[in-house]
Amino acid sequence: MAGPALFLGDDTAYVALVRPQLDPADPDLVQAAREAGVSPEEFAGPGNVWTLLTEHDGEGDGFELPGLRDTEADGFAEQLQAAVAAAGPFTVEAGDVLALDGAPADGGWAFTARVTPPEGHDGGPWTLATGPVATADLLADLADFRRALA
């Protein structure tokens, strides 16, 4: 799976903003498409729908954000870069679905994400906390994410 992705956290607790892009030539995708009775291109889809994913204490969740545009995802990343550069606690929001509180922690940043799924999602709002992410790694990930959107 390719496409722009921004992961905030670690393997056990994270929030991620991703726009998956499946490769119609991938052998596993070709097989899945064959089993579904559709072409690989149809099975892969347009690759332009953003998704918000979370993981905490072994529990994962996520939902599509069909109205989110690349410019809005870039705006979120830009706000996050500026907040990290300011070096103090902050809150950055991604529409109505994500409020991200950041605070300096152990030479990096720890995040508390307040997630509110859109209407029609089975679950209700939830909060998750991540461990620290090194500042240099975070800034590099943000720069890579923004370059992928350019």
CB-based contact 27:40 (threshold 8 Å) = no
Over range 89-105, report the average pLDDT.
Answer: 94
Q: What is the mean pLDDT of residues 24-39?
A: 87
The predicted structure's pLDDT at residue 131: 82
Model confidence band, residue 60 (pLDDT cutoffs 50, 70, 90): confident
Q: Which tens digits make up the pLDDT trace of 62-90?
A: 888 878 889 999 999 999 999 999 999 99
Cβ count near 37 (within 10 Å): 8
Q: What is the mean pLDDT of the chain?
A: 89
Q: Does CATH number 2.30.31 belong to domain 5-149?
A: yes
Query: What pLDDT, on a 0 to 100 scale, did the predictor assign at position 47?
Result: 67
Does pLDDT of 25 surpass 90?
A: no
